[in-house]
Amino acid sequence: MRTDTDLRGAYAHLAANAPRAEALQLTTNDRPSRNSGGNRRWIPAVAAALAVVVAVAIALLVRGNGHGRRPDAPPVSGQHVVCAPSAGTTPSVSQLNAAAGTISDRLRRLGVPTAVVRVNGAGELDITAPGTTRAQAGALCTDHRLDLRPLITPGVPVSGSTSGDPLSTLPFAPPTSERGYRQLSHSQQGQLTAALAHTACAALKIPTATTDRVVCDITGGSPPLALLLGPTIADSTQIASAAAIPPDPSGPAQWAVAITFRPAGQTAWSSYTTAHNTGGQSNGTTSRTDCGPTRIPCADFVAFVLDGSVVSVPFNLDAVTDSTTQITGGLTQAAATTLAGQVADGQLPVPLRTVSVQPI
């Protein structure tokens, strides 16, 4: 499993013109899931910002028989990638097409203005990706990692960035949970907030499952938010599927994202959401910068972190005791489709190996 540090720069580019998430008007969706027996409701603080990302990253082409650059188009730089099924596997055409769709989603998030992903006659994925680096192209056909990690403190706007490891200078051990944060003295909480405000987001490395504590959230625009996160609750290997769900004809005209966990992931997810939920109440705020004892507890917010970049920070309304949960809250069709792809595409539909990466 590989991650790609260049993805962070692409997220920064896509989010640079997005509105602050705190300025968005978000509403609650009370309708039950079509895929589960109960109400599984989440409210993301970045729904509309995701739609902006979609608008910036359109014009991606995914076809069974792709077309190259026009003869009269100016020369471009980029990479040509060929990927084949891993040895010992014989995927069907539909599985290869699904893998092509997953890779196209990754290219869209990288901000590639034009790309072609096609299945060639040899049953390989042939990818033309203008504007990508060799490292970015080399990671297209590998599994990517999605981690669901709880928020420990309110998000802190970054200013005067100086340190890629803002916790290293603290004279006390940083907390590993919201409960630990509340046990800090007022002075210590202030020191932690000041340290997070001076996070050098560009210097942060792609985090592993549990070791990297601070992640920069750029989904709301500028300045980014420094998020202190706890250990991973569940990851992409424990997610079976994610899909955009159209509005219920009898309910509000808003889309949702249904996420289905595998058994191990569902056990961990059920345990966490049973302990950390708002009981269906928003308590006056949906902002991850204003969470706490008198509002929504910070631990009720869970960051969806894809290859080290935050794609959504919803908060949990209810305990999730079955295999399917929903993210809701004013999602458009485009935003729901994008978020579902981000949640689902960590694991490729079929295992692939990179045959070649050549400059265009």
Is there a contact between 313 and 304 (Cβ–Cβ < 8 Å)? Answer: yes
pTM score over 0.75: no
Look at the block and give the residue holding tokens 């919201």.
178
Instruction: Please give the pLDDT value at position 166.
Output: 85
Q: Is 135 left (phi over 0), alpha (psi -120 to 50) or beta?
A: alpha
What's the full length of the chain, in residues? Answer: 360
Give which of 316, 19, 35, 12 is closest to 150, Cα–Cα: 316
Q: Where are the domains of the chain?
A: 6-150+232-359
d(CA 213, CA 70): 46
Q: Among 51, 46, 61, which Cα is nearest to 329's?
A: 46
Q: Is 42:315 a contact under the CB 8 Å cutoff?
A: yes
pLDDT score for 113: 67
Q: Are strands 42-43 and 225-228 parallel, antiparallel or unpaired?
A: unpaired
- The tens place of each residue's pLDDT in the chain, 360 residues long, gives 333 333 333 333 333 333 333 322 222 233 443 444 444 445 444 344 434 333 333 322 233 333 344 545 555 689 999 999 999 899 999 999 989 988 987 887 677 868 999 999 999 999 999 988 888 888 889 887 888 999 999 999 998 767 667 888 899 999 999 999 999 999 999 999 999 998 888 766 544 433 468 988 887 777 889 999 999 999 988 988 888 899 888 877 789 999 999 999 999 999 999 999 998 887 666 788 999 888 899 999 999 888 778 888 999 999 988 888 888 877 888 888 878 877 876 778 888 999 999 998
Asked whether the beta carbons of 166 and 196 are under 8 A apart, the reply is: yes
CA distance 76 to 360: 7
**How far from 41 is each of 33, 149, 349, CA to CA, in Å?**
8, 18, 27
- Strand (E) positions, the chain? 42-43, 61-62, 78-85, 116-119, 125-130, 146-150, 156-157, 214-217, 225-228, 234-235, 239-245, 255-261, 302-306, 309-312, 315-316, 324-331, 352-359
**DSSP helix/strand/coil, 146:** strand
- CA 32 to mean position of chain CA atoms: 24
